[in-house]
Amino acid sequence: MVALVEPTALTLSLTDEHLALQDMVRKFAQKEIAPIATEFDESGDFPLDTIRKMGAMGLMGIEVPESYGGAGMDTLAYVLTMIEVAKADASHSTIVSVNNSLYCHAILKFGTEAQKQQFLVPVASGEKIGAYSLTEPMSGSDAGTMQSRAVLNDAGTHYIINGRKSWVTSGPVADLVVLFTMTEPEKKHKGVSAFLIDARQPGFIRGKKEPKLGIRASATSEIVYENYACPVENMLGKPGDGFKIAMAVLDAGRIGIASQALGIAEAAYAASVQYARERQAFGEAIGSFQMIQQKIADMKTRIEASRQLIYNAVLAKERSKVTGDRYTLEASMAKLFASETAAYVTDEAVQIHGGMGYSKELPVERYYRDARITRIYEGTSEIQRMVIARQELGLR
């Protein structure tokens, strides 16, 4: 088990274990993922081979105790992994994020012992792929309007689930899913319940694969449920707990997406610095021009500010393991600022590269496309601002 710091400490530092993990993930990502990133971006295929390798390395269940198939590490270890993977390819980091933050974290925090053995162990160990399903075609940020339904059968043994879910990351390949659906629609968001779904059972139908702008190798699809019979023992939490579970899990997920955004920004920044040193114009390197220097300075400053907000969220999450307090504010601030930074840095990277930044010959245009989703999924930037303001104003 990697110790972070005392839960009440106000600072954090990278231990030798953290540094070793960071080095291991960086080397793997640059050797195994970076060379295939363009190919999988173009094809949109799911990179199963490298995901399996990361599973064997313990990266698909980083914070899950070893007794449940995970690596038994901490939030900082997860953040460092996400950054290094995202620097090589955002698609791979999306898969890692969903597996760790949204799927494994949900079951680890809210699951029974039997549920952990059946649904957590195989995913945390990398044997199977997990997914998280909240969004519907007409229900995104407002979960209280979802149209899918779970109705308890007359025998009281199964919930019969019907409905259509959209934007399910890893949906085309997922073996197991954390599903949120209505059990008491008259209660709106208080009527949402969570279920653990086995994709092999009848009534689980994979829908169309989404043709996305970015993170194209992190396969995303609709999932249709047609009279899917889910055993009552596979409900996660109690009836009506779904919205509470979803929001708690998204706190963790937002730290992951903030880290992904930081990784994308770092990759775009590194490419820009190298290009500014090498590209000649008017007889000198473009890095000698003040306007390019301003861009570099602003990019670097925003990147480091993002890192500190993410580290602040890491500390808040680690403290929560002892205090039980939510870390919504810290996670939302980190996600908002890092995603906006990724958008800014990748846009400036394209500008610094000029015509080459617009060409698929270099990965800069992929960074630009991949960064765009970080302001949308797991809570849009608008939602983050609302969450932050409501927290500060005491409007729970």
3-state SS track over 109-176: HHCCHHHHHHHHHHHHCCCCCEEEECCECCECCCHHHCCCEEEECCCCCEEEEEEEEEEEECCCCCCE
- Residues 108 and 63 sit within 8 Å (Cβ to Cβ): yes
45 and 157 in a common domain: no
- pLDDT 10s digits, 104-148: 999 999 999 999 999 999 999 999 999 999 999 988 767 778 999
Q: Is residue 250 part of a domain?
A: yes
247 and 191 in a common domain: no
pTM: 0.95
Identify the CATH number of the domain in which residue 215 sits: 2.40.110.10
Is 378 catalytic? The answer is yes
- Residues 232 and 267 sit within 8 Å (Cβ to Cβ): no
CA distances for 347 relative to 126, 305, 342, 352, 357, angstroms: 35, 18, 8, 9, 9
Domain that holds residue 220: 131-240
- pLDDT 10s digits, 92-115: 999 999 999 999 999 999 999 999
Identify the CATH number of the domain in which residue 77 sits: 1.10.540.10
Q: Is residue 333 part of a domain?
A: yes
Number of domains in the chain: 3
Which of the following is catalytic: 304, 378, 382, 392?
378
229 and 150 in a common domain: yes
pLDDT tens track of the chain, all 396 residues? 444 444 444 467 899 999 999 999 999 999 999 999 999 999 999 999 999 999 999 999 999 999 999 999 999 999 999 999 999 999 999 999 999 999 999 999 999 999 999 999 999 999 999 999 999 998 876 777 899 999 999 999 999 999 999 999 999 999 999 999 999 999 998 999 999 999 999 999 999 999 999 999 999 999 999 999 999 999 999 999 999 999 999 999 999 999 999 999 999 999 999 999 999 999 999 999 999 999 999 999 999 999 999 999 999 999 999 999 999 999 999 999 999 999 999 999 999 999 999 999 999 999 999 999 999 999 999 999 999 999 999 987
User: Given 216, 240, 264, which residue is the final one in a domain?
Assistant: 240
